[in-house]
Amino acid sequence: GQQLNQSPQSMFIQEGEDVSMNCTSSSIFNTWLWYKQDPGEGPVLLIALYKAGELTSNGRLTAQFGITRKDSFLNISASIPSDVGIYFCAGQGSSNTGKLIFGQGTTLQVKP
Amino acid sequence: ETGVTQTPRHLVMGMTNKKSLKCEQHLGHNAMYWYKQSAKKPLELMFVYSLEERVENNSVPSRFSPECPNSSHLFLHLHTLQPEDSALYLCASSQEQANYGYTFGSGTRLTVV
């Protein structure tokens, strides 16, 4: 079945640093989504990408839909302590309308 | 209320207890999901309901029993659980045939003692 490989698994950075994480798949996806989960809460949608090559920003967050449709990355610029949490990528393929495949998550810790 | 609401937020239960988790969505979505999230593990899809019919059951033990009485409500009935079932249980909803992703609830933190 479809799987997503998300990396890195965890990151520990200094406040103010930029962060980059990515997801790759062996299958093509039609939609890529990035979620953030704060401690003790459910994941919240950050950015949705619908076209290959699409680059979308949401404040200090920027995500891209890879041109091959098999990967996506998320960048966070000038990190702040409230960026702490788990970031999940999710892909939606053409064969499973509506069903999302999730990555394993990237745990981000920010040192003030 | 808007979005996806899960109750209770926290639950401690003994292995012989019977309890239920509740999820309610006010988004007009037609699909609902139960996920299990254990520490240091990825999200595990448990059940999928589409138009109130169960369309997916990912080899979940029978001590977990879902119920979807209507498109806005989803329950997870729990009985004779094991300590390893302790986890965050997340409910989500979506609009099938659309590609806007899932909306998650805040989860129920379950501890089995």
Note the pLDDT tens digit of each residue in B1-60.
569 999 999 999 999 999 999 999 999 999 999 999 998 778 999 999 988 788 777 789
> Are A40 and B109 an interchain contact pair (Cβ–Cβ within 8 Å)?
yes
The conformation of residue A94, written as its DSSP 8-state character, comes to T
> Are B92 and A42 an interchain contact pair (Cβ–Cβ within 8 Å)?
yes
Which residues in chain A touch residue B50, judged by CB atoms under 8 angstroms apart?
98
Phi and psi angles of residue B85, each rounded to the nearest 5 degrees, phi first: -85, -5
Give the pLDDT of residue A19: 97
Of B31, B95, B106, the CB nearest to A42: B106
Give the model confidence (pLDDT) of B61-91 as tens digits: 999 999 999 999 999 999 999 999 999 999 9
The conformation of residue B40, written as its DSSP 8-state character, comes to T
Most confident of A75-79, B52-56, B98-102: A75-79
Of A44, A98, A104, the CB nearest to B96: A98
Residues of A with CB under 8 A from a CB of B: 30-31, 33, 35, 40-45, 48, 50, 88, 90, 92, 97-100, 102-105
Q: Burial level of B60, CB count in 10 A (0-12/13-18/19+)?
A: middle
Give the pLDDT of residue B91: 97
State how far residue A110 is from chain B, nearest Cα, in angstroms: 18
> Are B101 and A31 an interchain contact pair (Cβ–Cβ within 8 Å)?
yes
Give the pLDDT of residue A106: 96
Predicted confidence band at A96 (pLDDT cuts at 50, 70, 90)? Answer: low
> Is B93's Cβ below 8 Å from some Cβ in A?
no
CB pairs under 8 A between A and B: 56
> Are A98 and B94 an interchain contact pair (Cβ–Cβ within 8 Å)?
yes
User: Does the bond joining A8 to the residue before it have cis omega, within 30 degrees of 0?
Assistant: yes
User: Nearest-CA neighbor of A85 among A61, A63, A66?
Assistant: A61
Which residues in chain B touch residue A48, judged by CB atoms under 8 angstroms apart?
99-101
What does the mean pLDDT of chain A come to?
Answer: 92
Give the pLDDT of residue B51: 81
Give the model confidence (pLDDT) of A43-75 as tens digits: 999 999 999 999 999 999 999 999 999 999 999
Give the pLDDT of residue B2: 63
> Between these two residues, A43 and A92, which has the higher pLDDT value?
A43
